[in-house]
Amino acid sequence: MTIQSELFVSIQLIVAMLLGGFIGFEREREGKVAGVRTYAAVCMGACFFTLISVHMMDINSGSRIVSNIVVGIGFLGAGIIFKDQDTNRTTGLTTAATVWATAAVGVAIAFELYVMSLVASLVIYFLLSLHKMKWFNKWVKNRQNDGDEKRMD
């Protein structure tokens, strides 16, 4: 690998870190345990593993490494999900899902799919921000009220 190639790869890693950090910023702002550093590390790590596979001589290694990233981040997500036995409430589902999606952003950056990576990052951020939007809260409240009415029937 030439110095120019390594510099290009380094820029990809920085882009992955920035997009992952952008997504994590919303979680950090909400006081969640997984925040900027976690999301940035997941995105950059997925990008880095994928970049390694892209530069290997074995053409089949890329698909194997990417599939193992998907599985590995799935295990990370499983560790994030927690069910409180006292309240019977499950927490961490959104964080687990968005960490998993953020890993996909890192993989896409490694494959030089920059527009898709940016759009996916914006969509993930939007999804994480939905609970702050009045129209969304109104819609959720209406759905809950409809469900309550159906249970009374």
pLDDT of residue 132: 87
pLDDT of residue 114: 97
pLDDT of residue 151: 54
pLDDT of residue 150: 60
Global pTM reads 0.86
Domain ranges (residues) in the chain: 3-152
Q: Which residues of the chain have pLDDT under 70?
A: 147-153
How many alpha carbons lie under 13 Å from residue 91 in its C-beta half-sphere? 7
Compute the C-alpha angle 24/83/73, nearest 5°.
45
